[in-house]
Amino acid sequence: MTDEQVLKMMQGKDAFIYAAGLDERTLPKAPAMKFYYENNVLPTQRLARLARNAGMKKFVIFGSYHTQTASMWTDLDLQEQPYVKTRLLQEEIAFMEGEGAMEVMSLRLPYIFGTMPQRTPL
């Protein structure tokens, strides 16, 4: 969708819940940083900016248990892994887009395990 189409859909809304993007099951060829950046960080920045421009008051990112784990176990250097690093950047860039105009928060979802038809679990 174009920015104008997204803005039109956002008009009159108070909040946006962002739960899109790639997760760690998508394994790109090395190097992976640019791939995750283009597919997770840039779209988040775009939608946070559009939500702010539409006058929304809240922007919620459904985060990753990887970002929480990296924050808890800093001695493992997990925050330097391409997927984790870009998920942390995804949060930071959304916080910056909302600063002063929109409350931005990240829900770092815990481990979620289960099965789905036609899907192989990790």
Q: pLDDT per residue over 31-61, tens digit each?
A: 999 999 999 999 999 999 999 999 999 999 9
Q: Is the dihedral of CA 58, 21, 114, 72 positive or negative?
A: negative
**Local confidence band at 99 (pLDDT 50, 70, 90 cut-offs):** very high
Mean of all residue pLDDT scores within the chain = 91
pLDDT at 13 over 70: yes
- What percentage of residues in the chain have a pLDDT greater than 90? 71
Q: What is the mean pLDDT of residues 9-25?
A: 91
Architecture of the domain whose range is 3-107: 3-Layer(aba) Sandwich (3.40)
pLDDT at 103 over 90: yes
Strands (E) across the chain are located at 15-18, 58-62, 103-107
Residue 1: its pLDDT value, please? Answer: 94
Residue 53: its pLDDT value, please? Answer: 97
Identity at 2, one-letter amino acid code: T
Residue 121: its pLDDT value, please? Answer: 62
Identity at 29, one-letter amino acid code: K
Phi and psi, residue 17, nearest 5°: -110, 120
Q: 90 or 65: which carries more pLDDT confidence? A: 90
